[in-house]
């Protein structure tokens, strides 16, 4: 037992020794703060159960740190920002308003801890760390650095600041509600799980800008952005929307956060050298201020600026002296609101109320251009880089002391201007969003809570941050102005609108923000741009009219866009449309082809019906051919009349007068058939023209063949030593009948099997529609006219052989010449026909018909008519059938004498009917 007690005592001593050593080692390794962040702001945490943090850009920059100091130094802020100071005061006013209400957090009150972000990332990061851990204790006191529980943060007053702070606060899931950070990347819940905002995302604002640009017909727009997350992501989204809308960004430059003469010169030169007369400025008013001075320094006017919500209503930029350069700016602003009681709260400020309130003292000194007595707060400290690139260090302490009697009513600055409470109203909404979420959390009933397991609730002040985020994501509440605030799953504003403002000068010479329209959005895809009256907008151009901002003017109708290699699609050449293509609307990418029955007009901006071409009766050529056809037919009829009147004369009776009448009738048919080729082709005329012509020539040539065969036999009888039998007249009629019936059979088969049809000849790039006949079967057509050619060839051969037959009047030679004319005409016709098109092709064929018909008429009948009418004494039996004295009578015999010697009936057979 004793040994057991000794063992226990030794063990206890060993345990105490180990614990004592561990404590000493922990105390030796403990981290201690070597300094404090240089932060200014306001804290009211006593007697409050919850704290809401705030980050506001009360200053616009920090004083550059001496680079020779090796240890980390927290920089000092400079450049008092009245606008940011008003935002901060609005948060305090809203928290006091909520604490006075009985319907929100009735059993709890809210305190605040607010720091100045100085509009720099470093200060935002310092403030975020202090919010989480504080900087008073050796050990971090998470969420309890003021003595009360930190619930959420309002801020940080700029997209880059919110991105930086949220990367730290998001690790602990601390709710952060932005009031002016619109950068689209903050919608990414994977990177920023606890960030929410009461201002629309820049994705919606970029869509609004593109809709505005399209509304005014601009296609060539420049872009200037701040060199931070707000500017870079804003312009990136804007470019994507512009590309989707087939619009072009002429240039894209950045304004440096820290003045750089080289970068600023590049941005100025881009604006100065570009043909774009419209420029989008995606930047805050603080970052834009140096760029505005550069525009004034270079006297760049005649530009229209599209403003983002971050500077459209900023008094820092909207100064009357800037109006010649930035007047007429048009941009988007969050909705304006009236906040009851805010004006009185803003006026309730004086340095004497709290000697330690350095921000109020600095506000007073800056606003009234004086120095507060016994104060170490510097006046108008400015370390900005000037326009030449050299650094100015100014510590201008005013010689005039502040009396404390200065009147705020006499001031004209942004702090007291409550006419454009837009971002200020967002601050109020952000505070109320947190308050309503906490109120819902506090009203949870056990067993009906949203948390697993068992539907538990969270309680103030012991709740976890993720438990409050549950309520923040489903926030929906009605503001004092009756408008409802709803956030979607990404913590973005679900619906709302932008006011479209235009900078104009009022009667007092001050810049006023005139509403000229609205941009409504109900989601990220449903948008509506409303600009009821363009004439109400002031344009700061030389003509005071809507600016014209294009790389290349819209191609007029009749031309198309031609791409310029290596250049944006908005820069192009206007290329005239090809024949048969048109562009009826301005700016078409491609010319549209006309229909097969249409053609482009001379301006290539409209399709007009094609000119219909055919050999018409009304035109000179058609009328001339009709006259020639009718005249030829009348001549043939006159010949027929002569033949009928003198039908009993020897000359008419010679060599079968019935065949002569058939030839005359066929010539009438062929001459009149040429009229079927004139006029607009129809199916019946196409079928009739070729068959009528073929039958007419067949009748003519077969009748001539009957005559030539008779002459051929007469010649053979005259030269033969043996007695030959002459051809009976019936045989000649049978030859004609056989040939004509054969031609009729082929023509009938042609018309039944593959008849000709009307054909609209619409060749590519042809300005005319040529109405012509599609001849159907070429084989049938060749057969028909091939038979006529065969008859013509037989006629020629037989007459050529019998051309020496002696007669005082012998028609063998006349027929020979007639057939020569026939062949010459049609041989010449073939190449001429194949080398022409349209109506001239038809005219060539008609000319060939008329020429061959006139040739046959003139060679065969005109000599006989000449004798019948003008030399009737030669029209006797003796002259026609008598002998002609010759040197060799044995050879040169008339056909009558030859027939007499052979056969008394031969004369009548050869010569007479």
DSSP 473-539: TT-EEE-TTSPEEEB-TTSSB-SEEEEEEEEEE-TTS-EEEEEEEEEEESSSS-EEEE-S-GGGS--
CA triple 655-658-660, angle to 5 deg:
65
DSSP class of 567: S
pLDDT tens for 797-824 read 877 776 665 554 456 778 878 888 888 8
Compute the residue count for the chain.
913
Q: Can you tell me the distance from the alpha carbon of 212 to that of 517, in angstroms, rounded to the nearest whole number?
A: 10
In the structure encoding, which two tokens stand for residue 29, read together? 């390794």
Q: Which of 39, 51, 35, 62 is nearest to 130 (CA)?
A: 39
Tokens for 79? 């450049």
Half-sphere exposure of 292 (CA within 13 A, CB side): 25
Regarding predicted confidence, which is higher, 23 or 827? 827
Contact 362, 349 (CB under 8 A): no
Q: Which of 668, 808, 693 is nearest to 750 (CA)?
A: 693
Q: How far apart are CA 756 and CA 685, in angstroms?
A: 9
Q: What is the pTM of this model?
A: 0.68
Q: How far is 757 from 393, CA to CA, in rounded Å?
A: 99
DSSP H or E stretch at residue 560: strand 559-563
SS3 913: coil
> 913 with 905: CB under 8 angstroms?
no
Q: What pLDDT score was predicted for residue 882?
A: 44
* Percent of the residues in the chain that have a pLDDT greater than 70, as a whole number: 85
pLDDT of residue 500: 96
pLDDT at 711 over 80: no
Which has the minimum average pLDDT: 270-284, 378-392, 893-907? 893-907
DSSP-derived secondary structure letter, 456: B
Q: What is the mean pLDDT of residues 296-308?
A: 93
**Residue 310 near residue 284, CB atoms below 8 Å:** yes
Cα–Cα distance for residue pair 825/696, rounded to 1 Å: 17
Residue 880 scores a pLDDT above 80: no
| pLDDT tens string 4-37 | 433 433 343 344 444 445 444 444 455 566 678 8
pLDDT digits (tens, 9 = 90+) for 753-797: 888 888 777 765 577 788 888 777 788 878 888 888 888 888 888
109, 365 Cβ separation under 8 angstroms: no
CA distances from 323 to 289, 295, 541, 635, 865 (A): 14, 12, 12, 96, 106
Q: Which residues of 759-793 are buried (b: 16+ CB within 10 A; e: fewer)?
A: eeeeeeebebbbbbbebbeeebbebbbebbeebbe
Indicate the pLDDT class of residue 720, thresholds 50, 70 and 90: low
The answer to whether 406 touches 370, Cβ cutoff 8 Å, is yes
* CB half-sphere exposure, 592, CA atoms < 13 A: 13
Strand 110-116 versus strand 50-56 pairing type:
parallel
| Residue 716 pLDDT level (bands cut at 50, 70, 90) | low
What mean pLDDT is predicted for residues 382-393? 42
Q: Which two tokens stand for residue 34?
A: 């070597």
Helix (H) or strand (E) holding 628: helix 620-645
pLDDT the model gives residue 646: 85
Q: Give the residue from 285, 34, 66 showing the smallest Cα distance to 158.
A: 285
């Amino acid at each position: 037992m004793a040994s057991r007690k000794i063992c226990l005592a030794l063990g206890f001593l060993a345990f105490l020794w180990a614990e004592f050593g561990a404590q000493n080692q922990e105390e030796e390794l403990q981290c201690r703060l070597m300094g404090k962040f240089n932060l200014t702001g306001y804290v009211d945490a006593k007697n409050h159960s919850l704290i809401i943090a705030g980050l506001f850009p009360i200053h616009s920059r920090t004083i550059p740190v001496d680079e020779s100091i090796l240890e980390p130094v927290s920089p000092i802020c400079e450049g008092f920002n009245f606008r940011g100071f008003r935002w901060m005061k609005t948060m305090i006013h809203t928290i006091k308003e909520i604490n006075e209400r009985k319907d929100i957090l009735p059993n709890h009150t809210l305190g605040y801890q607010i720091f100045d972000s100085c509009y720099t990332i470093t200060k935002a990061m310092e403030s975020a760390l202090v919010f989480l851990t504080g900087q008073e204790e050796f050990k971090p006191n998470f969420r309890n650095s003021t003595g009360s529980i930190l619930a959420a943060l309002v801020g940080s007053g700029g997209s880059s600041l919110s991105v930086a702070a949220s990367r730290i606060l998001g690790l602990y899931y601390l709710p952060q509600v932005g009031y002016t950070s619109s950068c689209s990347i903050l919608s990414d819940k994977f990177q920023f799980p606890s960030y929410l905002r009461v201002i629309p995302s820049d994705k919606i604002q970029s869509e609004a800008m593109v809709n505005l640009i399209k509304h005014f017909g601009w296609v060539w727009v420049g872009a200037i952005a701040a060199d931070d997350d707000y500017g870079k992501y804003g312009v990136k989204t804007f470019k994507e929307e512009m590309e989707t809308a087939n619009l072009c960004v002429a240039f894209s430059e950045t304004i440096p956060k820290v003045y750089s003469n080289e970068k600023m010169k590049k941005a100025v030169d881009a604006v100065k050298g570009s043909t774009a007369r419209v420029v989008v400025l995606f930047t805050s008013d603080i970052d834009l201020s140096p760029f505005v001075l550069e525009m004034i320094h270079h006297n760049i006017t005649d530009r229209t600026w599209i403003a983002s919500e971050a500077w459209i209503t900023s008094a820092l930029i909207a100064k009357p002296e800037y109006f010649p350069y930035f007047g007429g700016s048009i941009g988007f602003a969050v909705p304006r609101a009236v906040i009851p009681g805010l004006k009185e709260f803003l006026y309730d400020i004086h340095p004497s109320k709290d000697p330690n309130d350095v921000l109020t003292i600095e506000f007073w000194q800056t606003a009234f251009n004086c120095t507060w007595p016994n104060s170490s707060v510097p006046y108008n400290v400015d370390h900005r880089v000037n326009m030449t690139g050299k650094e100015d260090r100014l510590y201008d302490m005013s010689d005039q002391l502040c009396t404390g009697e200065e009147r705020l009513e006499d001031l004209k600055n942004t702090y007291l201007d409550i006419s454009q409470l837009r971002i200020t109203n967002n601050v109020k909404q952000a505070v109320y969003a947190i308050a309503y979420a906490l109120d819902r959390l506090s009203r949870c009933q056990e067993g009906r809570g949203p948390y697993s397991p068992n539907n538990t609730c969270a309680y103030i002040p012991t709740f976890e941050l993720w438990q409050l985020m549950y309520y923040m994501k489903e926030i929906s509440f009605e503001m004092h102005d009756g408008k409802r605030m709803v956030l979607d799953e990404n913590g973005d504003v679900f619906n709302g609108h932008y006011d479209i403002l235009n900078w104009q000068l009022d009667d007092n010479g001050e810049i006023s923000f005139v509403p000229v329209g609205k941009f409504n959005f109900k989601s990220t895809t449903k948008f509506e741009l409303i600009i009821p009256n363009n004439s109400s907008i002031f344009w700061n151009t030389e003509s005071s009219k809507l600016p014209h901002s294009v790389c290349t003017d819209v191609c007029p109708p009749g031309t198309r866009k031609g791409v310029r290699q290596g250049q944006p699609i908005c820069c192009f050449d206007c290329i005239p449309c090809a024949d048969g293509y048109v562009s009826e609307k301005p700016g078409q990418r491609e010319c549209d082809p006309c229909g097969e029955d249409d053609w482009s007009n001379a301006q290539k901006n409209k399709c007009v019906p094609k000119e219909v071409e055919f050999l018409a009766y009304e035109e000179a050529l058609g009328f001339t051919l009709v006259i020639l056809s009718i005249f030829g037919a009348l001549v043939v009829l006159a010949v027929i009349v002569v033949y009928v009147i003198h039908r009993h004369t020897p000359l008419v009776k010679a060599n079968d007068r019935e065949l002569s009448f058939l030839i005359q009738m066929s010539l009438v048919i062929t001459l009149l058939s040429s009229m079927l080729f004139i006029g607009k082709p129809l199916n019946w005329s196409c079928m009739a023209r070729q068959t009528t012509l073929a039958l007419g020539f067949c009748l003519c040539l077969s009748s001539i063949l009957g005559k030539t065969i008779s002459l051929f036999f007469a010649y053979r009888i005259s030269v033969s030593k043996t007695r030959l039998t002459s051809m009976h007249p019936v045989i000649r009629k049978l030859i004609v009948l056989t040939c004509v019936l054969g031609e009729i059979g082929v023509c009938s088969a042609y018309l039944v099997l593959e008849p000709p049809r009307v054909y609209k000849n619409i060749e590519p790039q042809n300005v005319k529609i040529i109405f012509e006949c599609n001849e159907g079967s070429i084989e049938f057509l060749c057969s028909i006219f091939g038979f006529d050619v065969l008859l013509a060839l037989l006629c020629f051969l037989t007459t050529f052989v019998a051309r020496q037959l002696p007669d005082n009047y012998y028609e063998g030679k006349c027929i020979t010449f007639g057939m020569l004319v026939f062949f010459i005409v049609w041989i010449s016709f073939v190449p001429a026909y194949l080398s022409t098109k349209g109506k001239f092709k038809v005219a060539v064929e008609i000319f060939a018909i008329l020429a061959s018909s006139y040739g046959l008429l003139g060679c065969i009948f005109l000599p006989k008519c000449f004798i019948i009418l003008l030399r009737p004494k030669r029209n006797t039996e003796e002259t026609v059938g008598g002998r002609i004295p010759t040197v060799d009578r044995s050879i040169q015999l008339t056909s009558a004498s030859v027939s007499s010697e052979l056969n008394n009936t031969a004369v009548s057979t050869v010569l007479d009917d």
